[in-house]
Amino acid sequence: MTQRLHLVFGGELIDPTKNAFKDVNDIHIVGMFPNYETAYNAWKAEAHRTVDNAHMRYFIAHIHRLRDEKIEASPTEELDG
């Protein structure tokens, strides 16, 4: 069985229209998750918690894709949809 690890992280951006962090030392690492669904739930909780700050953004990194670049999967495929 393939392990599909996902990292959820975020922080304050320099400009809300770009993906550059204001201070990389202040990046909030939410955690590593064993599947997309749990990563998405963690991402959503953090995004809702910081919704009043337009400069805050959270992301899901597909760590399993870094381990094996030959595997291609869409978010819906990872949710068994």
pTM of the model as a whole? 0.77
Residue 67: predicted pLDDT = 64
Regarding predicted confidence, which is higher, 80 or 20?
20
In contact, 36 and 78? CB cutoff 8 Å: yes
- Report all structural domains of the chain as residue ranges with CATH numbers, in order of start: 6-78 (3.30.70.2400)
Q: Is the pLDDT of residue 78 over 80?
A: no
Residue 14 tokens, joined: 């320099």
The pLDDT-based confidence of 81 (bands split at 50, 70, 90) is: very low
- 46/44 Cα distance (integer angstroms): 5
pLDDT at residue 66 above 80? no
The alpha carbon dihedral of 27, 70, 79, 4 has a sign of negative
* pLDDT at position 29: 97
pLDDT at 65: 76
